[in-house]
Chains A and B, each alone.
Chain A
């Protein structure tokens, strides 16, 4: 077992115990997972107070639904990140012409695609997302990163990239279709 596998196994154990009402396990789960999840939300909602509320609501929800986690068969960090991302996307209210984003997320994504590191290894059975992202054209990879890390909508992507809305929508759609093809190819025998 690599250490990321061990970390995921530990999170899964803590979630299972939290599902049985174990508050100490839940506190440990929070300590282990909250900093990354807070960062995830902060990128999307861009206001500390809002991100704090998202984190609070998400962990109350994780506590309430911890018993359901076992049925999910996802990595615990994925299950929790999905909760935080959905909550962040639900609460974010932005009406800016020019989205205020840095390109750190995009840089991360490119780095990851170029050099799959410990995080990539953490994804069991040779998860090929990094490689598949690398197969995308640069502009496609950029819209994926800006949408995923910064929660940009289609119109915000268009404003940020100074491209027509239709073009941006096409980039997103094609990027995701190519990712689907690539990921499907890599799961030999999996249904399309």
Chain B
């Protein structure tokens, strides 16, 4: 890549931070700055020079749902949720859904799932009642759970999809909200996180925007999948 002269680097960095560098040019400058430490240094100087102007802006309190959505995406606070009796309808739905087919699909999808951090510790394929696979969920060391939507559910507009751990015993535990668009939701789960202890399967339920208000599944179960350890022994 051709190196930028300091003057050009300053001119582009300044307009980048000011916001007038847009679109493809903006993307290209980001690529250059990521690859060139001198350009990155100039960019940082402009950020430090101009961005503090934002301090003068009058604050506007964001609505509570924003924080709720953030919490849902990064996983709930440990120990914050009280144990709740299992929602029996939820379990019935799960019992209907978790067929043997899921295990077969796990094998079929193992070759599909990319491995950003080596082989996954486990994989689960979330399938709908019609046995179609919608999500491939894989756990990667040290602490990343990747939820890959391969086939979005339809009819979920205006509602949130929530991911649940189904332990061998006890109530489902929420792992937060996941995206219903093709692509990945990555959830950080610390090693030894109690939410995933004795996990047997994963399930997706349809919830009000922002997630279940009761800390247990309230909406219909869209799909589920058993957890298949995939670490080679």
Q: Which residues of B contact A72 (CB under 8 A)?
A: 44
Beyond A23-B77, A78-B48, A119-B52, 18 additional pairs, beta carbon < 8 A: A21-B188, A23-B78, A34-B61, A34-B67, A36-B55, A38-B66, A56-B66, A59-B70, A89-B22, A109-B56, A111-B56, A112-B53, A122-B55, A129-B49, A149-B53, A152-B20, A157-B20, A172-B18
12 example contacts (A-B, Cβ-Cβ < 8 A) are as follows A27-B77, A34-B67, A35-B62, A40-B54, A43-B57, A78-B52, A108-B56, A147-B19, A147-B20, A149-B53, A152-B19, A183-B49
Q: Does B74 contact A (CB under 8 A)?
A: yes
Binds A, one of B9-17, B92-100, B156-164: B9-17
Pair count A-B, CB < 8 A: 137
Q: Kindly report which residue of chain A lies nearest to residue B58, judged by CB atoms.
A: A39
Asked if A192 and B66 sit within 8 Å, CB to CB, the answer is: no
Q: Secondary structure of the B side of the interface?
A: helix
Interface residues of A in 1-43 (CB under 8 A from B): 21, 23-24, 26-27, 30, 34-36, 38-40, 42-43
On whether the beta carbons of A149 and B57 are closer than 8 Å, the reply is yes
Q: Smallest CB–CB gap between B81 and chain A, Å?
A: 13
Q: How many residues of B contact A (CB 8 A)?
A: 40
CB of A64 within 8 Å of the partner chain: yes
One of A60, A81, A85 near B70 (C-beta < 8 A): A60
Instruction: Specify which of B51, B62, B65 is in contact with A85 (CB 8 Å cutoff).
Output: B51
Q: Give the nearest-CB partner of A84 in chain B.
A: B54
The reply on B151 being an interface residue by CB < 8 A is no
Give the shortest distance, in Å, between A135 (CB) and chain B (any CB).
14
The residues of A that contact B63 with a CB separation of less than 8 Å are 52
Contact partner, A172, options B15, B57, B66, Cβ 8 Å: B15
Is the CB–CB distance between B57 and A36 below 8 Å?
Answer: yes
**A74 on the interface (CB 8 Å rule)?**
yes
> Given the known A-B contacts A34-B66, A35-B60, A180-B14, are A78 and B20 also in contact in the complex, defined by CB atoms under 8 Å?
no
**Alpha-carbon gap, A78 to B63, bound state (A):** 23
Closest CB in chain A relative to B18 CB, distance in Å: 5
**Judging by beta carbons under 8 Å apart, are B20 and A39 in contact?**
no
Chain A at the B interface: mostly helix, strand, loop or mixed? helix
> Do B62 and A52 touch (CB < 8 A)?
yes
A123 touches B67 (CB 8 A): no
Q: Do residues A192 and B6 form an inter-chain contact, with CB atoms below 8 A?
A: yes
Which residues of A are found within 8 Å of B47, using beta-carbon distances?
74, 78, 82
Interface residue ranges, B against A (CB under 8 Å) = 6, 10-11, 14-15, 17-20, 22, 26, 44, 47-63, 65-67, 69-70, 73-74, 77-78, 188, 190
Q: Which residues of A contact B188 (CB under 8 A)?
A: 21, 64
Answer whether A129 and B50 are a contact pair too, CB < 8 Å, given A42-B60, A52-B62, A173-B11.
Answer: yes
- Nearest chain B CB to A17 CB, angstrom units: 14
Interface residues of A (CB under 8 A from B): 21, 23-24, 26-27, 30, 34-36, 38-40, 42-44, 51-52, 55-56, 59-60, 63-64, 72, 74-75, 77-78, 81-82, 85, 89, 104-105, 108-109, 111-112, 119, 122-123, 127, 129, 144, 147-149, 151-154, 157, 172-173, 176-177, 179-180, 183, 192
Bound-state Cα–Cα, A24 to B15, Å:
37
Contact check, A144 vs B18: say whether CB atoms are below 8 A apart.
Answer: yes
Complex: how many Å from CA A81 to CA B51? 7
Q: Which residue of A lies closest to B55 (CB)?
A: A119
Q: Is the CB of B73 within 8 A of A56?
A: yes
Instruction: Decide: A176 and B52 in contact? CB cutoff 8 A.
Output: no
Most A CB contacts (10 A, CB to CB) among B26, B47, B50 go to B50
Q: Which residue of B lies closest to A144 (CB)?
A: B18
Residue of A nearest to B59 (CB): A35
Q: How far is the CA of A55 from the CA of B69 in the complex (A)?
A: 10
C-alpha gap A89/B18 in the complex (Å): 10
Task: Tell me, in angstroms, the Cα distance from A109 to B11 when the chains sit together.
Answer: 21
Given A78-B48, A108-B56, A192-B6, check contact A52 B65 (CB 8 Å): yes
